[in-house]
Amino acid sequence: MSEFTWTPDYTIASDTEFKTQESEFENGVKQYRSIWSSARRWWKLGFLKRTLTEMQAIQAFFETKLGKATSFTFTSSLNGVEYTVRFAKDKFSYDYVAYEQCDCEIQLVKD
């Protein structure tokens, strides 16, 4: 399995999400149950003032993964743990902000 090796420029935003179903019976009693067997983790990575060559390398990695179709490994700089993740979206874009300098933000989701 390939690894996402680029380090973001600013602190990674990390979210944890659970999916819970709520059912209310006619007598007003509510019942809750978990839909997912474990929490879903998300990371937002920001890359600032990277060279066009670096940005094209990240884009090439995105394209080899066919967007969110294929998973890969990612090591969080928040805790040093390696996760199996995929891109959260099927779209990759970056902003050309200055000569040979680009910015982008991507989201990863744990498999």
pLDDT digits (tens, 9 = 90+) for 73-105: 999 888 889 999 999 999 999 999 988 899 999
* Residue 34 pLDDT greater than 90, yes or no: no
Q: How far is CA 12 from CA 29, 65, 81, 106, in A?
A: 40, 21, 13, 10
The mean pLDDT of 59-79, rounded to a whole number, is 94
Quote the pLDDT of residue 12: 73
Let me know how long the chain is: 111
pTM of structure: 0.80
Domains assigned to the chain: 3-110 (2.40.30)
